[in-house]
Amino acid sequence: MIDKAIRRCRGGTAVDIVVSVGAKNVGITGVDPWRSRLCLRISEKPIQGRANTAIIRMFSKALDVSEKDVRITAGKKSTLKTVEIDLDLEEVKAGLNRVLGID
């Protein structure tokens, strides 16, 4: 299922996400099958870029890469976003599956 949300892009991997802000329970929670997007829950509100910064930090920690290697390339003011990561597709897939508890 995660395969529909990630793809190769120039120099790395693109991940399509849908974000819920103001959440009490935060994390990468699964894949939305209708939108084909990875679901993220963050506690930060979308004020002055705080939510986007939290998303970058979440991917950085989940995939053990520098925050400089993660950027939002589409949807900066939307709940539907695309994140690009300077990491091979298979490494991103393995890292996200690990976070989601999928073997």
pLDDT tens for each residue of the chain, 103 residues long:
788 999 999 889 999 999 999 899 999 999 999 999 999 999 998 899 999 999 999 999 999 999 999 999 999 999 999 999 999 999 999 999 999 988 6
pTM score, whole prediction = 0.92
CA distance 49 to 35: 24
DSSP assignment letter at 80: E
For residues 97 and 101, what is the distance between their CA atoms, to the nearest angstrom?
Answer: 6
Q: What is the pLDDT of residue 99?
A: 92
Number of structural domains (the chain) is 1
Identify any residues that bridge with 8 across adjacent strands, giving them in sequence order. 13
CB atoms near residue 103 (< 10 Å): 4
CATH number, domain with residue 25: 3.30.1200.10
Question: By residue range, what is the domain housing residue 52?
Answer: 2-100
CA dihedral (69, 70, 76, 81) positive or negative: positive
CA distances 52 to 5, 25, 90, Å, are 18, 17, 24
- Under a CB-based contact definition with an 8 Å cutoff, are residues 59 and 85 in contact? yes
- Cα 30 from Cα 11, distance rounded (Å): 25
